Amino acid sequence: MRSANFALGVFLAAYILSFVDRQILSLMVEPIKRDLAISDLQMGLLQGLAFALLYSVIGIPIGLLADRISRRRIIACGILFWSVCTALCGFAGSYPHLFAARMGVGVGEAALSPAAHSSMSDAFPPERLARAMAIYTLGITIGSGLALMVGGSVVDAIAAKGDVVLPVVGHLHAWQAAFLAVSVPGVAVAALVMMTREPRRAPRPAVSRGSLAVLFRHLAAQPRAFASIYGNSTVLGIMGYGLVGWYPTLMIRRFGMTAGEAANYLGLAYLVVGSAGSIAGGLYAERLARRGRHDANMRVVMLISIASILPAALAPLMPTPMLVMALFTPLTFLFNGYFCCSIAAIQLATPSEVRATNAAMFLLVNSLIGLSVGAAIVPLVDRWLFGGTGELGAALSVVAVACCTVAALLARMGLPAYGAIVAALRTAG
């Protein structure tokens, strides 16, 4: 168990780094728009589609590979690749260049979660998996929080000194230098990954391991359960990516904050309250599971979706920063408990020989739809329903209410089927 806990800590560090590299872009909307002469929608595509396009698709072959070969090597190579591509974002002098570099970041990060999910499902007993996943998904809240707080400080500090001139590289805008700064830790984290131990896989016929045909037969046999898991998580992903992508811009535009000031408000909420919510969601699912509730993970997702509706609707409409944060903080606690339960649900409902492949398929759907749509839907709703004012508060409210409601209904729809498949696999195993 000591080696499993060490690996969990290292995977958490890698996940934190991935979100720092992924989310720092949300702090630099205004300077990038100015320097590259692009629109809110184009920025939304950079935050979403550019990253998700290859991140989602390449995850499938990586998941198939992770069901066959060393998962830690796959993760280490992915970290090095996305760090290089983050640095390349810092050299971007045009929109196509930045778009292509963001696609590269997505390719590298696609290697992390399918392999990590599979590794942890083999390293931890089933009753402790939700807790392990909750700790792993702290990477979302800690990474988003650090991306905002540290990234905001870096952006403000560099911006205060003006543009940067580096030897050989030459002149860089402040946002370009910020990308270079956050690309550096990847080498150290990749080295730590190589120090982890590969857990023993459950014995299965080699011919079936990592097979898309085996996975698709399993999904087709349980359509209601997997439609529920995939569907509610994707809808909540749209909401989550919309929040993290556009709340900093909301605070900057509405209240005249600098990037660093907005980051301190939002980053602290993600870092502390969001992390607590992630752990609480996993622990509550574990508590229900110990009481014999095989549908524990999906039940928690349903309850979180319902409880998030009111604060999600009201927070972006508030007239002062303090009132925004008074509602955004409990929303952050509630909302961040869902994802660990969703990925635990996928793992517990999937035979061990195709867990990494199903994790990759799950992330494909979540990213291709959740991230792509979530980053673009807020400016689109602002344009369609509110005349394209750019204020974003009303659009954030509409998106959040719709997503929470649909997610709750989808989770409720799949509860019986999901509970049955988990019980059957536990009995068979």
Give the range among 68-72, 118-122, 355-359, 422-426 with minimum mean pLDDT: 355-359
- pLDDT(241) > 70: yes
Helix (H, G, I), strand (E, B) or coil at 211: coil
Adjacent-strand bridge partners of 134: none
Nearest to 227 by CA among 428, 426, 8, 406: 406
User: Does any domain span residue 112?
Assistant: yes
Say if CB 177 and CB 164 are below 8 A apart: yes
pLDDT digits (tens, 9 = 90+) for 49-100: 888 888 878 888 888 888 888 899 999 999 999 999 999 998 998 999 999 9
Identity of the amino acid at 389 = T
Identity of the amino acid at 283 = L
**Backbone angle region of 168, left / alpha / beta, with phi > 0 → left and psi within -120 to 50 → alpha:** left
Distance CA 46, CA 65 (A): 28
User: Does any domain span residue 423?
Assistant: yes
User: Does any domain span residue 204?
Assistant: no
User: Does any domain span residue 202?
Assistant: no
User: Does any domain span residue 206?
Assistant: no
- 6 band by pLDDT with thresholds 50, 70 and 90: very high
- 260 band by pLDDT with thresholds 50, 70 and 90: confident
Burial of 107 (0-12, 13-18, 19+ CB in 10 A): buried
CATH number at residue 164: 1.20.1250.20
User: Does any domain span residue 360?
Assistant: yes
Say if CB 360 and CB 59 are below 8 A apart: yes
User: Does any domain span residue 305?
Assistant: yes
Say if CB 89 and CB 36 are below 8 A apart: no
Neighbours of 298 (CB within 10 A): 32
Q: In total, how many domains does the chain have?
A: 1
Adjacent-strand bridge partners of 313: none
Distance CA 138, CA 270 (A): 10
Q: At what angle do helices 49-66 and 71-89 cross, to 10 degrees?
A: 160
Q: At what angle do helices 138-161 and 259-268 cross, to 10 degrees?
A: 160
User: Does any domain span residue 77?
Assistant: yes
pLDDT digits (tens, 9 = 90+) for 18-42: 988 887 887 788 888 888 989 888 9
Boundaries of domain holding 345: 2-197+211-428
End-to-end C-alpha distance for the chain, whole angstroms: 20
User: φ, ψ for residue 169 (rounded to 5)?
Assistant: -70, -45
Structure tokens that stand for 187 in this block? 């080498």
